[in-house]
């Protein structure tokens, strides 16, 4: 029997700035998309994956990563060839190395054969959606100046968005070389603190304020982007409650935690058999026990 872990994470409310230093002239921009007919800001799945790998590298929990971030050189350093047995990031996040053909062009003309390159890949077991803001972007900017030599002043501005973000993830642990690494994935995702932010000038907390997890044999998540924020800033999960009510999701497959535990929908789902916790860490500890038992780790 194959199990799947799906989740939807809602961050705390904060002021987000650019997460990868992109700019247009002297304007540091946010990534944006059209979401339900309005402009929202977004953070890439790649940025979240980067933060997860960095967490494993620096957490002190004994996780070995192949692609290590060097803070002094400000770039990545590879430890060795890809090895999903030895390195958690190669196993969980996957990899790809494409090399061009090593035969020179004039040699190809002589043989009249096109030489092929090589491609070494492993599909990532952890799949992550883009993080999307829960509120539309209103176009807020900050204006700043930096004094240089000889009284020269540089002006620049930064797009900022006061909002929460939500994103989803999926893991099928049986695809992992080391199946117990699913616990490291959970531990990492609830501890991310350095995803959004323009260099060192901004900090945006990406740890969950609210969390929905689903441990199931179903192939479909059915819980992605389930958080809704109204005009008063109240968070609810009406679509998740509806899916449980009509039988698309079994309530006992759900772990609901954080601020959302106080909502009417969470109370309803708890009565129907869902696992509801006011604390994020308590919920993750509880579902970890279930995962450990089901997978016989």
Q: What span, in angstroms and rounded, lies between the C-alpha atoms of 54 and 93?
A: 12
What are 47's two structure tokens? 């940025």
User: Helix, strand, coil proportions of the chain in percent (round to 5)?
Assistant: 30, 30, 40
Portion of the chain with pLDDT greater than 90, in percent: 66
Domain membership of residue 117 (yes or no) is no
**Which residues constitute the domain of residue 53?**
4-80+127-295
Domain membership of residue 101 (yes or no) is no
Q: What span, in angstroms and rounded, lies between the C-alpha atoms of 141 and 245?
A: 43
List, for residues 242-293, the tens digit of each pLDDT value: 999 999 999 999 999 999 999 999 999 999 999 999 999 999 999 999 999 9
Other CB atoms within 10 Å distance of the CB of residue 261: 19
Q: Is the pLDDT of residue 86 over 90?
A: yes
Q: How confident is the model at residue 122 (pLDDT cuts 50, 70, 90)?
A: confident
pTM assigned to the model: 0.88
| pLDDT score recorded for residue 111 | 61
Domain membership of residue 92 (yes or no) is no
Domain membership of residue 260 (yes or no) is yes
List, for residues 67-78, the tens digit of each pLDDT value: 998 888 878 888
Number of domains present in the structure of the chain: 1
Name, in order, each residue with C-beta under 8 angstroms of 8's C-beta and a sequence gap of 6 or more: 166, 167, 168, 211, 212, 221, 223, 224, 225, 226, 227
């Amino acid at each position: 029997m194959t199990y799947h872990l799906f989740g939807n994470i809602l961050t705390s409310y904060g002021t987000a700035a650019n997460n990868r230093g992109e700019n247009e002239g002297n304007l540091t921009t946010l990534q944006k998309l059209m979401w339900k007919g309005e402009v929202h800001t977004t953070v890439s799945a790649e940025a979240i994956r980067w933060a997860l790998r960095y967490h494993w590298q620096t957490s002190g929990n004994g996780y070995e990563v192949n692609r290590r971030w060097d803070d002094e050189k400000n770039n990545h350093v590879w430890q060795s060839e890809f090895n999903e047995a030895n390195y958690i990031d190669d196993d969980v996040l996957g990899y790809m190395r494409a090399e061009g053909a090593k035969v020179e062009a004039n040699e190809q003309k002589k043989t009249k054969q096109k030489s092929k390159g090589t491609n070494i890949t492993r599909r990532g077991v952890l799949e992550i959606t883009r993080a999307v803001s829960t509120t539309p972007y209103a176009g807020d900017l900050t204006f700043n100046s930096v004094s240089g030599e000889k009284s020269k002043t540089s002006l620049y501005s930064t797009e900022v968005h006061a909002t929460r973000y939500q994103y989803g993830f999926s893991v099928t642990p049986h695809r992992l070389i080391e199946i117990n690494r699913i616990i490291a994935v959970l531990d990492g995702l609830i501890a991310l603190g350095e995803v959004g932010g323009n260099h060192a000038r901004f900090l945006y907390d990406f740890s969950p304020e609210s969390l929905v997890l689903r441990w199931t044999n179903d192939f479909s998540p059915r819980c992605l982007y389930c958080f809704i924020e109204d005009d008063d800033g109240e968070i609810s999960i009406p679509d998740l409650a509806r899916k449980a009510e009509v039988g698309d999701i079994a309530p006992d497959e759900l772990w609901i935690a954080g601020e959302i535990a106080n909502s009417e929908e969470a109370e309803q789902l708890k009565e129907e058999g869902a696992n509801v916790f006011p604390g994020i860490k308590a919920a993750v500890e509880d579902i970890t026990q279930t995962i450990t038992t089901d997978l016989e780790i």
